[in-house]
Amino acid sequence: MKAWICPRYGAPEVLRLVELPDPTAGPREVVVRVEATSVSTADARVRGCRFPAGMRFIGRLALGWRGPRRAVLGTDCAGVVESVGRDVRHLRVGDSVLVVRGAAMGCHAERVSVRPRDVVLRKPAELSWAEAVSLPFGGQTALYFLRKAGLRRGHEALIIGASGAVGSAAVQLVALAGAHAIAVTRAENAGWIRALGAAETIDYTSSDYVAAGRRYDLVMDCVGAGSFRTMRHLVKRGGAYLAVAGGLADMLARGSGGVRCVTGYVPESTDAVEELLRHVREGAFRPVVGSRFAFADLPAAHAHVDSGRKRGTAVVDVTSLQRPAPTV
Ligand SMILES: NC(=O)c1ccc[n+]([C@@H]2O[C@H](COP(=O)([O-])OP(=O)(O)OC[C@H]3O[C@@H](n4cnc5c(N)ncnc54)[C@H](OP(=O)(O)O)[C@@H]3O)[C@@H](O)[C@H]2O)c1
């Protein structure tokens, strides 16, 4: 099978398309033929050895010193079950599935071996491959942080970076909870972000919302626009600053003035992805496919993610461009 590997840290040009042996399914594993995968900010960060502030040393210790130990990147994929181990009961050959491997990666390949601890769920028919693979990365992250912060009906939540994978999911989850999402984004993205459920938008290129004096129950910083130290004055007493892209300083920050700093590494969770899929089935959540790339052009998807300007998810079509999903 063909797979993209990252032999050393660097620019997208370090990536190599290589031939690897096809995986086989162990007794409790399944092999999935990949239809679509994504290039997430996690993939681009690992490839470029770009860790949150203060985390570079520990990041290289954990992932590999000169290059990632797990050379095939890719946190998520969607595809068709091709073979099933003898002890697997819940999946059959031919099932359409969504696979979330998270930090274990390995999805930038034509085939992926799915282990018992990976999240693997049936893909609902109403989602295209591209839409399915656009769901978990941003959705799980937004759900994890909003839950940990105690999002409640009626809350006002400022979402900084609302056009990204995490931010666009957060806007929808905040609206679903009966809270008010105030989306910080460029004016050109305001229309589709309001359509996702934002109550208000603030154009960060023309408005200094940090100095405006308004306060919110939750401030969810999806881009590292600030830190707990520089943003806590935006949060009401009893509220929280959600440091989604936070570095070591935010992790060590203790709450002050009745404001908490919420940080963490988001674990892969079957329950979380199931909850997101339930919202999709109920027509209450829409994964945002921002851009699409052919498998042969995967480095271009990395370059797009590196730009910091991607909307929603950058999808890579591994087999063919089937029914094109709507892009924003
Ligand atoms: N803690 C965890 O476990 C965890 C898990 C997942 C992701 N993350 C982190 O979460 C962050 C967000 O990930 P993502 O995939 O959502 O990123 P992304 O898709 O690249 O989102 C960034 C978006 O924010 C916009 N933006 C950039 N600067 C902005 C600013 N100053 N104010 C408002 N909007 C701005 C960009 O568009 P424009 O520039 O066009 O406005 C872009 O659409 C990443 O740093 C990622 O590493 C952390």
Domains of the chain, first to last = 2-135+287-317 (3.90.180.10), 137-262 (3.40.50.720)
Percentage of residues of the chain with pLDDT beyond 90 = 91
Terminal alpha carbon distance of the chain: 32
How many angstroms separate the alpha carbon of residue 87 from the centre of ligand 1?
40
Phi, psi of 183 (to 5 degrees): -95, 125
The pLDDT of residue 170 is above 50: yes
Q: Is a pLDDT exceeding 60 seen at residue 214? A: yes
161 lines ligand 1 (CB under 6 A): yes
pTM: 0.95
The verdict on the CB of residue 138 being under 6 Å from ligand 1 is yes
With a 6 A CB cut-off, is 186 part of the ligand 1 pocket? Answer: yes
**Ligand 1 mutation pick, 49, 159, 203, 244, max ligand atoms within 8 A of CB:** 244
Confidence class for position 252, pLDDT limits 50, 70, 90 = very high
How many Å apart are CA 142 and CA 194, to the nearest integer?
Answer: 17
Is the CB of residue 308 below 6 angstroms from any atom belonging to ligand 1?
yes
226 C-beta closer than 6 A to ligand 1? no
Residue 78 pLDDT exceeds 90: yes
Q: What is the CA(49)–ligand 1 centre distance, in A? A: 17
CA of residue 116 to ligand 1 center, whole Å: 30
Instruction: Supply φ then ψ for residue 232, to 5 degrees.
Output: -65, -25
| Structural contact between residues 161 and 182, judged by C-beta atoms closer than 8 angstroms | no
For ligand 1, atom 25, the nearest C-alpha belongs to: 161
Tokens of 321: 């461009």
Task: Decide: 184 in ligand 1 pocket, CB within 6 A.
Answer: yes
Overall average pLDDT of the 239-256 stretch: 92
pLDDT value at residue 326: 43
Would you state the pLDDT for residue 254? Answer: 80
251-268: average pLDDT = 92
What pLDDT digit, counting tens, does each position of 131-142 carry?
Answer: 999 999 999 999
pLDDT-derived band at 116, boundaries 50, 70, 90: confident
Ligand 1 centre from 225 Cα, in Å? 9
Kindly report the length of the chain: 328
pLDDT in tens, 269-304: 999 999 999 999 999 999 999 999 999 999 999 999
Instruction: Quick: pLDDT tens for 1-27.
Output: 999 999 999 999 999 999 999 999 999
pLDDT by residue (tens digit) across 309-318? 999 999 999 9
pLDDT band per the 50, 70, 90 thresholds, residue 327:
low
Pairing of strands 119-122, 96-100: antiparallel
Q: Check: CB of residue 199 under 8 Å from CB of residue 182.
A: yes
